[in-house]
Structure 1
Amino acid sequence: MSQPDPGFEALLQHLKQTRGFDFTGYKRSSLVRRVARRMSQVGVSEYGDYLDHLELHAEEFTALFNTILINVTGFFRDADAWEFLRTEVLPDLLASKGPTEPVRVWSAGCASGEEAYTLAIVLAEMLGPAEFRDRVKIYATDVDEEALSYARHGTYSEREVGGVPDELRERYFEQVGGRFTFRKDLRRSVIFGRNDLVQDAPISRIDLLVCRNTLMYFNAETQARILARFHFGLAEHGVLFLGKAEMLLSHGSLFLPVDLKRHTFRKTPRVAPQNGTLFADPPPLVTRSSPEGIDLLRDEAVLASPLAQVVLNGDGIVAVVNRQAEVLFGISTRDVGRPFRDLELSYRPLELRRHIEKALDERRTVRVTDVTYHRGPEVVHLEVQVSPLASGGGNEPLGVSVAFHDVTDFRRLQDELEQANRQLETAYEELQSTNEELETTNEELRSTVEELETTNEELQSTNEELETMNEELQSTNDELQDRTSELDRSNEFLETILTSLRAGVVVVGTELVVQVWNHQAEELWGLRRDEAVGEHLLNLDIGLPLDLVRPVVRGTLAGEDGPQEVTLAAVNRRRRTIDVRVVASPLRGDTGTVVGAILTMEEASSVEDLVR
């Protein structure tokens, strides 16, 4: 295997430290290929230059994660496997639980949510919607926040729901426009949250764990760690449902196949190790008589040990330095016989002298964890074990052994196990009445999930209130549209009347601003409606002496009884001199107050012809 590129590893560490994404467990070939694709898209060829680009352009993180985290999923993907799950696996799983016992399901790597909603549809069909709402919780997790945001909306296009049978689509989706939204009453049982399978502890007490086509992106070591967490998260006899490209042929100690063709596996019960015994040494062999040369054999065993080890006598003098200690710290057999306090190792990478004194005073092994040692450009994580040495059955110590365990590759796993052990002790105290046996637990994640669930319910409640308000606003809008339609019809009717009149009709307000100018007025004076409406009556350029019309209008606006009229000589739009009869009538409001004047203007000869 080729050595990893330091520039690429530095990029992965930057992503982990700044954004919390740990890609170190992903398959390097696929990871390098996807990062290179994104680098080519932004025109960068070196990893260092791309890291600088990330620091300058925060939005580039989203584009990079979308390239790495390929979210390919769909409703009822691999229909044969889902049918087997529905007919063979789930009936036995539900039969093993009480009629009111909760059913907990985890969709790990849920992407945009289709898989989680498929689980909801299958279980709702088996239990009925009412029992489903009361008993089922589906926890859907992913590391991609953008995909989770899309999944939380539960709204999909017609193409995305194409895999859902027609009758199920009608029962479980509401069509709004061209999109389909999952039923709100069942949506509350599906809880979306962020979970990194590489770093975060699993959800516990799971009856069915669905993780399809996700493990294949990780290397073998990371797959083993994730499967160990899945084993912990599943309840007794829990079922693991994988994708077409994933098998567990090398993990028979954790899972037994239910059906290899459909990639379903059942958890193998395993006796939980006692606290502190997970990494314990095996029991000693039966003592036999010492063969010839046993002392030389012991010396060589210490020298060849894979652990870096230094042995001191009772006076603090270096007695033994093995080969691994020479390689790791640069000390050698030439340092044998020197006081340990004179060596750099006594205070670097940590202050060892006080731990040695403590081990000797208390007659017990002292373990120091999470020690970081910088050896040139390389960072090594160590666990140091200081053990007092005594003769068989003797109380007086002969010396002390200092062993250095290189835990660089397993530090994270060890930290998580220690945290799980601490949380397990707390869980036993808080949940004595439940009588449940747990190997480890993650209280912090459980609390976070519960908070997310509560927040989600509050958001859904708020959303329902907003929808109710929207419906009320829509109803009000419909009423306004109806009134507007009525007003439009009234205006059209009034316009028809005004158009049908032979006389020119002009309506002015109290300030003599023109509000209505009918078609006959246009024909009479040659002034279009858009040129007259909004203008002061006396400012209009027409063939009528408006200064002689003003007294009539003013009298009408002043409330004088009866119509006011006057006949004036004028010039029409054809430049012909005519006599025009102008009649002003008051325009009254709802309270009877004069709010304007209606002027009818008609050629006097036309009026006389009409009278005759």
Structure 2
Amino acid sequence: MTDDQEPTNQGPRAESPIDGQADGQADGQLDGQLEELLVFIRDARGFDFTGYKRSSLARRIQKRMTDIGVESWTDYRDRLETDAEEFSYLFNTILINVTSFFRDAEAWTYLQEEIIPKILATAEGEEEIRIWSAGCSSGEEPYSLAIAFAEAMGLQECLDRVKIYATDVDQEALLQARAGVYGTRALKNLPEELRDRYFEQNGTSYGFRSDLRRRVIFGRHDITRDAPISRLDLLVCRNTLMYFNVEAQREIMDRFNFALGEGGFLFLGKAEMLTSSDRFGVVNMRQRIFRRNSRHALGRAPAVRPRPGSAYGEVTTGANGRKRQLRDSLIDVAPYAVLGIDYDGILVSASSAARTQFGIGVQDIGRPFRDLELSYRPVEVRSVIEQATNERRTIRLTGVERRSADTSESQFYDVVVQPLTTASGQLLGASIAFVDCSAQVLLEQEVKRVREDLETAYEELQSTNEELETTNEELQSGMEELETTNEELQSTNEELETTNEELQSGNEELETMNDELRIRSGELDETHTFLQSVLSSVGLAIVVLDDRLTVRSWNAAAEDMWGLRADEVRDEVFFGLDFGLPVAEIRGIVDRARTDDVRTGPVEVPAIDRKGRALGCQITCSPLVGESGGVVIIMEPIDRP
């Protein structure tokens, strides 16, 4: 799913994590403790769960608290502060990774038969097809997308044109996804011909084919705060939104609207709905497939290409001081602040405006850019640099505010990050330009103020239509009540789906445990059969007693000698049995073997076998290894009259 946004509406209040809480403790106090815990997790580890639904979130945290025996939110926060590894266990409990290949087969069939052909029909020539799987978990979903497009357009064309971005906040799930190796159970719903075509078997595991695997790019991404991937033809985010509250869902949908190109498709989970309908049109409500409306679409940004012969187009190998000086002078006289960052993230140049506005000195040239305050204030640009260089495109941030510490006045900048490459496409570094747009922002603010004044005047003119407005408000109120009821029903549906996924996750854990127990039981049966075979193969009569001196084992030779079957004597006290051996006479060597933990005997005692014949019987006792107080008795006939 696939971590730092402002706190949102709390949603349903969490129940107390323990039954022993004082009855008089207010629910509001418990809510406050949960919120404090969430803020602590966000500040300590960068995982922002404040946008998640409180009911399911509280339930998952309480499950982890119960597992480790912690009774209150406060105590659990103390546990997190003292045990850094507990964060990993908590995140694995909260982030439910329930997925499979082509999950919800009917929806995937519609996607393959109706949506993918439309995407291919609108893609021009050799244009790249961009897909994003948000909340990819352990990778089954993006690999399903790769298979679907390879089946629709052919493997080679898919390798040439399709790029799939797969993101999640769970690092452990991403590690498994990057490996692309799955067991037989994970592929049980995949048709055999697809499995043979797209997976390579290695023992009991199957690895996704390597050439198509390289078209899937995995990365950690939080859909609630990180910049979205842009210019998408298809965005798949299934059974992820239902964990967030309504306000967080709206913010996520705003990001998805920005990410999709004109006419791009959005594929949601079966229990998820859009929080607003003005930005997306319904393609198929049953299968939860939507399309971005054209009036909200933004055209694709043209790819950034280096200009041959420009200052950043070629790397000259000769020592040409005058050209280098000219190039540095051109940067220095730029009318706005410009910084040059090399491939290793080192600041190599800064224009005069940059030195003046941001206080960059000569001593800063050659330092890692991440060590400078400018790398994270007034805006975090390190991640933007990484995105721009990875995607080889220019990224622009508009209206970034910078407040002066001395005068408390604000300046506004448009920040433009552009990758610098050679003519052959080799990455050299990046340039960062801070273009002062304060006048434009102030003008926009003034326009906004004038607009607000006009709106106030318009509201005053509308006072003559109060009757009509009253009727309209009543109708609107009724509509809002219906919308509220609809949202409550949708919330209940999402909660049920969340609970279902939790149950499915628990069921998979139980199935795994059951398989392990079945294997262990088979091993025990095999060991027991082997031991019985060994005892039966020994020609001497052997009896095994436990620490209470009851019979645990009575082999076939003992049955033949004394005439008692094993099922007749098992769990019976040995010295209470009545057969041809005078057991009282061997009590001493049995007790000595048990107490001294040494082998005793042999001693010879007279006995009578099952046929009534007198014989001499040599008795040897050995302590039973691994069971305190147990003993093994070996009985060998030595004389027959």
Shorter-chain TM-score: what band? 0.3 to 0.5
Larger Cα-atom Rg: 1
TM-score of the superposition, structure 1-length normalised?
Answer: 0.45
Higher RCO (C-alpha under 8 Å, 6+ residues apart): 2
